[in-house]
């Protein structure tokens, strides 16, 4: 038996989203085929997250018209998912949760796509509360200021490195990766990734700037043709291969 104080402190330091199981109240047992407790077994962030759908002024080379932007309200950790239409933002929400974890509270404005049935069903299933800004007061959404900062970073990179505007989706991915490992004065010169996860990030794989000219090895090309081909750097491939795997833009051969 644990001391009573330990039990009380444990209840204060943990969650218990489900207090009973339907199977306990059945007179006839039956086999289940679907996950019964969608809110359990999910990585959870220790902060509120703000989100907004943002439109591009120019369609990207892959047909994206905009994207769903997420930022930790405390950590300033960014994530961006390019989309071909706003109605796809529920897919971005699911990807954000599976890669970054469910937030304590999700803050958005009153856009229909962020208050609709599909959006709320996802959050309801995993027990994530929501909070919205007042109608016609989008400035109350904390993601607005961070999106402005990302937009300036993207514009500067496209201009300085003379990159095509239709690669803005890749530039946004690159800039979110840079932001997440850069120390901020407002965070007492810690990085957003450390504030979000508690882990000190390693930056060994940040070796190239956006649209930097590269040579890559093409093993299928046989002698006497050269198997070193030209490419442009786009971003780190965070979910593919080892740490030093990258997205590149190849040139026509």
The larger pLDDT score, comparing residue 143 to residue 133, is at 143
Asked if residues 90 and 117 have their Cβ atoms less than 8 Å apart, the reply is no
The two counts, helices (H) then strands (E), for the chain are: 6, 8
Q: How far apart are CA 183 and CA 21, in angstroms?
A: 46
pLDDT of 26: 62
Check pLDDT > 60 for residue 253.
no
CATH architecture of 49-197: 2-Layer Sandwich (3.30)
Asked if residues 46 and 139 have their Cβ atoms less than 8 Å apart, the reply is no
Burial level of 120, CB count in 10 A (0-12/13-18/19+)?
Answer: middle
Q: At 18, is the secondary structure helix, strand, or coil? A: coil
Q: At 37, is the secondary structure helix, strand, or coil? A: coil
Check pLDDT > 60 for residue 32.
no
Q: How far apart are CA 221 and CA 23, in angstroms?
A: 61
pLDDT of 29: 60
Cβ atoms within 10 Å, residue 79: 21
Rg (CA), the chain: 22
pLDDT in tens, 72-98: 999 999 999 999 999 999 999 999 999
Check pLDDT > 90 for residue 231.
yes
Q: What is the pTM of this model?
A: 0.85
Cβ atoms within 10 Å, residue 154: 25
Q: At 10, is the secondary structure helix, strand, or coil? A: helix
Query: What backbone phi and psi angles, to 5 degrees, belong to 56?
Result: -90, 150
Residue ranges of the chain that CATH labels 3.30.420.10? 49-197
When the pLDDT of each residue in the chain is averaged and rounded to a whole number, the result is 87
């Amino acid at each position: 038996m644990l001391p009573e104080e330990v039990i009380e402190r444990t209840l204060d330091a943990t969650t218990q989203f489900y207090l009973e199981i339907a199977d306990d109240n059945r007179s006839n047992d039956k086999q289940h085929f679907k996950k019964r407790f969608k809110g359990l077994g999910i990585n959870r962030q220790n902060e509120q997250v703000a989100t907004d759908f943002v439109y591009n002024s120019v369609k990207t080379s892959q047909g994206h018209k905009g994207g769903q932007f997420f930022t930790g309200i405390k950590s300033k950790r960014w994530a961006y998912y390019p989309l071909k239409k706003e109605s796809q933002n529920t897919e971005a929400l699911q990807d954000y949760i599976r890669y970054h974890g469910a937030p304590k509270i999700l803050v958005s404005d009153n856009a229909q796509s962020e208050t609709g049935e599909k959006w709320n069903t996802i959050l309801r299933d995993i027990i994530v509360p929501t909070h919205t800004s007042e109608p016609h007061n989008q400035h109350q959404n904390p993601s607005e200021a961070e999106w402005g900062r990302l937009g300036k970073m993207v514009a500067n990179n496209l201009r300085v490195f003379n990159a095509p505007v239709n690669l803005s989706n890749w530039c946004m991915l690159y800039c979110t990766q840079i932001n997440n490992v850069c120390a901020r004065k407002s965070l007492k010169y810690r990085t957003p990734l450390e504030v979000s996860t508690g882990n000190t990030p390693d930056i060994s794989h940040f070796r190239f700037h956006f649209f930097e000219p590269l040579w890559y090895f093409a093993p299928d090309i046989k002698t006497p043709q050269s198997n070193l081909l030209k490419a442009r750097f786009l971003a780190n491939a965070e979910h593919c291969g080892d740490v030093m795997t990258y997205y590149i833009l190849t040139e026509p051969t």
